Amino acid sequence: MSNEILINVNSGEKRVALLEGGVLVELYLERSSEQGMSGNIYKGRVVRVLPGMQAAFVDIGLEKAAFLYVTDVHQDFDDLELMMRAREDDGNGVPPGDKSVEEEEILELDTPFQIEDLLHEGQEVIVQVSKEPLGSKGARITSHISLPGRHLVLMPMVDHLGVSRRIENEGERRRLREIIQHIKPAGCGLIVRTVSEGKGEAELHQDLDFLMKMWSNIQKRKATSLVPSLVHKDLDLTLRAIRDLFTQEVERVVIDSAEEYRKILDFCETFMPQLKSFIELYEKEEPLFDYFGIEMEISRALGRKVWLKSGGYIVTDMTEALTVIDVNTGRYVGKRNLEDTILKTNLEAVKEIAYQLRLRNIGGIIIIDFIDMEKESSREKVFQALTDALKKDKSKTNILKISELGLVEMTRKRTRESLGRILSERCFYCEGRGFLKNRSTVCQEILREIQRDIRDLRGENVMVDVHPNVANFLYDEARGDVERLEKRFNKRIIVSGKNDYHLEQYEIHSSNGHFPVDKKEP
């Protein structure tokens, strides 16, 4: 089945859904108040050099300083160019044009320089955001500028040739390499993107001309811009989707905004006129994402537990350091024996896990806890199935064999925030723990607090303000404990339920309203 791109535009939000065979596999979101910055080019200033980490922090005008690693530093020094040539001559380097790279890959040079030799505090640098801020971390930046077009990626600071690995035909790879060797400007690098397969020199040259003009404009703005400042902003989400996702496998693009529809048509007129007929304006009354069932899939992607068709389920928990996925048989009891039941559940879970990783855009370290399998052949089947399922994933993954404990350790390249972190925030009730103290625990805390401070309260009555559920517990299950305190200290304890209180919140004060002893808030 063919692929589709759905674009939903509201006043403050744009969403792009990529469907493969009618199934949502990738979701991109951009809000007007939180526009993405990956690909943006800034003129910044080095604020701190860290020799111990071989990195530097650069002020590019964002809330947090950006992080620049030593291998991401480019210098215009003649000695750097001589050094790179020497490395190539003595066989230690990689000759330009002999290394194929992913079209999204940023070329990293292995440099013998130390960060303190390349940068100093106060130095002005031109950098590009390669990874957006993730969680508490600032943006990752690079001095190896790359400008993606429809068919090519221009790297104006690196003399390099490359062809996307997704173009597998060796004859086609040679043909494209010969074309770009002929049209490549001196001193610049080019990568041929996947969509260039079958394209002629005229189309590639047109794309290159546009990119070279863009780079010329960036250099002009760099010369006149203040520090820090934005000197080039990448395309917005809708046009990036057309540029990067609108491949030969995509049957149509459906968009529900007339304004964005016209903007996309104008963009296609310039860069891909042959694809204009595949773009449709959605005009039905039912919202676009509701009509295609996307909203339901988004809600499912935010859930901690995802059920499998057989009755098993997977549970996904994200921590600061890694993501853990647990596989369970659930309601599935199988038909033959235990090993077959476990194997079938694990194999079904593999497909769902690969799908959820891609849809939720989960990156970093990932631990998968499959149900324990006794047979080595079963473990090998599950591992091979996982490897095959992840082949469609555009993000680079690295998978280790299933351990004796039934665990799979893997990594997935992380370039932007996960869907869960974009669409949700840390719970301010439980502070991200995922749990609340139960009513019995809160009641015992209150009783201990009363016992500790009851002598300091004036009057005959002790007033306790709590959440209604806790109040009911104090009046019911904990009533005996309350009465014992009343008898011991010869004071009456009056409990009042407050609808606006959090479950863990309470306040203890005297009957005349003075001298509050304690107010606990989560």
- The DSSP annotation for 87-129 comes to HHHTTSS--TTS----TTPPP-------HHHH--TT-EEEEEE
Tokens of 498: 């407050």
pLDDT score for 111: 53
Amino acid at 341: T
- Rounded CA separation 263/240 (Å): 12
Q: How far apart are CA 16 and CA 346, in angstroms?
A: 31
pLDDT at 330 over 90: no
For the chain, domain boundaries: 3-33+238-295, 41-232, 304-423, 439-520
Token pair recorded at residue 28: 């991109």
Mean pLDDT of 342-371: 92
CB atoms within 10 A of CB 452: 12
Annotation: CATH topology of 439-520: Hypothetical Protein Ychn; Chain: A, (3.40.1260)
Ramachandran area for residue 513 (φ above 0: left; ψ -120 to 50: alpha; else beta): left
Handedness of CA 138, 359, 364, 144 (dihedral sign): negative
CA-CA-CA-CA torsion sign (481, 483, 485, 488): negative
pLDDT for res 80: 38
For position 158, what pLDDT does the model report?
A: 83
Q: Shortest CA distance to 16 belongs to which of 3, 34, 30, 2? A: 30
Residue 515: pLDDT over 50: no
Task: Please state which of the ranges 22-31, 48-57, 78-87, 464-473 shows the lowest mean pLDDT.
Answer: 78-87
Please determine, looking at this structure, whether the domain spanning 41-232 carries the CATH number 3.30.1640.10.
no
pTM of the model: 0.72
pLDDT for the residue 335:
63
More confident residue, 520 or 451: 451
CA distance 110 to 54: 13
Q: State which of 33-47, 82-96, 327-341, 364-378 shows the largest mean pLDDT.
A: 364-378
Binning pLDDT at 50, 70 and 90, where does residue 414 land? confident
Distance between CA atoms of 155 and 162, rounded to whole angstroms? 11
Least confident of 232-236, 359-363, 375-379, 429-433: 429-433
Return the CATH architecture of domain 3-33+238-295: 2-Layer Sandwich (3.30)
Q: How confident is the model at residue 246 (pLDDT cuts 50, 70, 90)?
A: confident
Domains 41-232 and 439-520 share a fold: no
How many other CB atoms are found less than 10 A from the CB of residue 436?
Answer: 15
pLDDT in tens, 300-318: 888 889 999 888 899 999 8
The predicted pLDDT at position 512 comes to 65
- C-alpha–C-alpha distance, residues 107 and 128, integer Å: 13
Q: Locate the DSSP E strands across 175-311.
A: 189-192, 229-232, 250-255, 279-281, 305-307
Lowest mean pLDDT among 4-18, 178-192, 227-241, 446-460: 446-460
Across the range 449-461, mean pLDDT stands at 82
Q: What angle do CA 305, 35, 279 make, to 5 degrees?
A: 85
pLDDT at res. 74? 60
Asked whether residue 78 carries a pLDDT value surpassing 50, the answer given is no
pLDDT at 93 over 70: no
Q: Residue 400's pLDDT band (boundaries 50, 70, 90)?
A: very high
Q: Which token pair is 477?
A: 């299950």
**Which pLDDT does position 191 carry in this prediction?**
92
Token pair, residue 88, equals: 């190539």
* Long-range contacts (CB closer than 8 Å, 24 or more residues apart) made by 271-274: 271/149, 271/150, 271/207, 271/210, 271/243, 272/150, 272/242, 272/246
